[in-house]
Amino acid sequence: MDPLSLPANQSCPIARSLAVLGQKWNLLLLREAFFGRTKYAEFQRIGVPSGTLGARLDALVDAGLLERRAYQEKGERTRDEYVLAEAGRDVMPVLAALIQWGETHLPKERGADVTYTTTTIEGSPVRLEFVDDRGTAVSRDAVIIARQARTATASG
C-alpha cells in the first residue's frame, strides 16, 4: 500500500517527504550529487542498475531536486548531466542526520578506513542540533514532534 493513500499520512510531511526521498537509491544518488557528481556514469558507479538509475534521475528531476542540463565535451556527443537544484540542496540536513545516526549506532565493524562528517568549507566540523527561537541549543530529549491543527482561516 502507498502510505499516502491514507489521509492521515497525506497531512504528514514525513510521509510526503518519503514518497520522494524514501525510494531506494534516491538518497544515495543525492549523496553523490553533494560530492559533485553530475554524470550518469558517475552515479552508476554506486551500484544502482541502469534501468533503476534512469527512472530515479527522471523522478528526482520531476520532483525538482535535480536539474537536467545538456552538456557536450569536445569530441563527444551531447549528454545530460544532473546538478542539485534548490530543493535538492535542502536535503543536506536529512543526509547529515543519517550520517550522525549511522556513525553513532552502526559503526563499521572492522576495516573502518573512512569516516563521513559534516564540516564547513574551511574544514571545521559542524553538527546538527535543535535550537530554539533565540538560537540556543535544545537537548534532543526535550524535543517532541507536535501535530498542530491549523486554523483554515488565518494560518500564516
Partner DNA sequence: ACCCTGACTTCATTATTTCTACTCAGCATG
Partner DNA sequence: CATGCTGAGTAGAAATAATGAAGTCAGGGT
Q: Least distance in Å: CB of 72 to DNA?
A: 7
Q: Are the beta carbons of 19 and 86 closer than 8 angstroms?
A: no
Q: Quote the CA–CA distance of 19 and 32 in Å, as a whole number.
A: 20
SS3 137: strand
With binding defined as CB under 7 A, does residue 54 bind DNA? yes
Which of DNA, a copy of itself, none is residue 58 near (CB under 5 to 8 Å by kind)?
A: DNA
How many residues form the binding site for DNA (CB under 7 A)? 24
Q: Quote the CA–CA distance of 98 and 9 in Å, as a whole number.
A: 22
With binding defined as CB under 7 A, does residue 58 bind DNA? yes
Which of DNA, a copy of itself, none is residue 145 near (CB under 5 to 8 Å by kind)?
A: a copy of itself
Residues numbered 65 to 104 that lie near DNA (CB under 7 A) are 75-80
With binding defined as CB under 7 A, does residue 134 bind DNA? no
Q: Least distance in Å: CB of 84 to DNA?
A: 16
Query: Which lies closer to a copy of itself via its Cβ, residue 36 or residue 75?
Result: 36
Strand partners, 68: 82
DSSP class of residue 5?
A: G
With binding defined as CB under 7 A, does residue 55 bind DNA? yes
Q: Quote the CA–CA distance of 4 and 18 in Å, as a whole number.
A: 10
Q: Are the beta carbons of 55 and 75 closer than 8 angstroms?
A: no
Which listed range, 10-18, 19-27, 29-37, 134-142, lies at the site for DNA (CB under 7 A)?
Answer: 19-27
Q: Quote the CA–CA distance of 127 and 97 in Å, as a whole number.
A: 9
Amino acid letter, 92:
M
| Residues lying near DNA in the complex (CB under 7 A) | 1-2, 23-25, 39-41, 44, 48-55, 58, 75-80
